[in-house]
Structure 1
Amino acid sequence: MTRSLDAFAPRMLSILRIVSALIFFAHGTQKILGFPASDMNPPVMSIFWIAGVLELVGGALLILGLFTRPVAFILSGLMAVAYWMAHAPQSAFPALNGGDAAILYCFVFLYLVFAGPGSWSLDAVLGREGTKRLATV
């Protein structure tokens, strides 16, 4: 049974990437585009605006699976900073400080840095992922 489940691992990795990125992308659209409607309207070049741009652009790139590893690395760091700056000072417990999503995003994105985008990605189509052979001199 494990062997048959292993066959689906690259596709499930893609689904994890896409679903996580779609939800993350929505945070960027809310901050930058005002959709879905919210009272968020961060000033341009503020830390919240920069985070929103990273969520919007980085989320879109992860949805497509383009430049997955470097983008996931940046977004993982963004979520670590967001947790320690915005959530941790409120309480030591993520369930109380509202930072549980930031922690999950941080570690899902960190996983993508090492695991790659999965089989359904532009990186795979463009040949950026997969077996890489070393050139012999």
Structure 2
Amino acid sequence: MSRFATLIRPDGPAAAILIRLAVGAVFLSEGIQKFLYPGELAEGRFTTIGIPAPGFFGPFAGVVETVCGALLLAGLLTRVAAVPLVVDMVLALALTKVPILWGGSADKPKADGFWAMAHEARTDWAMLLGLVFLLAAGPGRWSLDAVLARRAGRAVSAER
């Protein structure tokens, strides 16, 4: 099996489309909003929480979330698109949610403790688990990855 065929392998149940649609729609929406509201969701927020070079990383996160979210919605290069989004979610949890355990964070200064962190992290945690599911299970048969895999299979058969 070629590396490309491995990347687009349409494993997973047909119902994986539900996870792809939920996770992809959230990332696409959040990515677009980073450009619509940069002071609140991109550069401004990244400055508040202490991310270096917020003028670069704010729009960068917006591009990653928009492009990869759209790829998840389409089921195109699903596993490839999930990887940068996993990094995005791990960073979001580490930089904005974990500090709440120790007495608040720059963007939530009054919240502290496990339950405050659990409340704030609920969407990030759900997105991370959805991405891990897509990495493990695959995009399912109702995806562009499945269409590409079928075409690749026909091309290999025709060469023989």
1:24 paired with 2:34, answer no
Q: TM-score, normalising length from structure 1?
A: 0.74
Which of these residues, 134, 140, 143, is aligned with residue 121 of structure 1? 143
Matched letter for residue 26 of structure 1:
S
Which runs of at least 4 in structure 1 moved beyond 6 Å after TM superposition? none
Structure 1 regions of 5+ residues with no counterpart? 1-8, 132-137
* Larger Cα-atom Rg: 2
Greater helix proportion? 2
Residue by residue, what CA displacement relative to the aligned partner does 1:37-78 show, whole Å, maximum 9, x if unpaired?
A: 984452641x33222211111101110111101111221121
Q: Trace 1:1-137 onto structure 2 (pairs within 5 A).
A: 10-34=13-37, 39-40=40-41, 42=43, 44-45=55-56, 47-91=57-101, 92-93=113-114, 95-97=115-117, 98-127=120-149
Q: TM-score, normalising length from structure 2?
A: 0.64
User: Counterpart of 2:3?
Assistant: none
Matched letter for residue 112 of structure 1:
L
Secondary structure of the residue that 2:61 maps to in structure 1?
helix
Secondary structure of the residue that 1:106 maps to in structure 2?
helix
RMSD: 2.5
Structure 2 regions of 5+ residues with no counterpart? 1-11, 44-53, 102-112, 154-160
Matched letter for residue 117 of structure 1:
P
Q: What CA distance in whole angstroms lies between the structure 1 residues aligned with 2:78 and 2:17?
A: 11
How far 1:13 sits from its partner (Å)?
A: 0.8
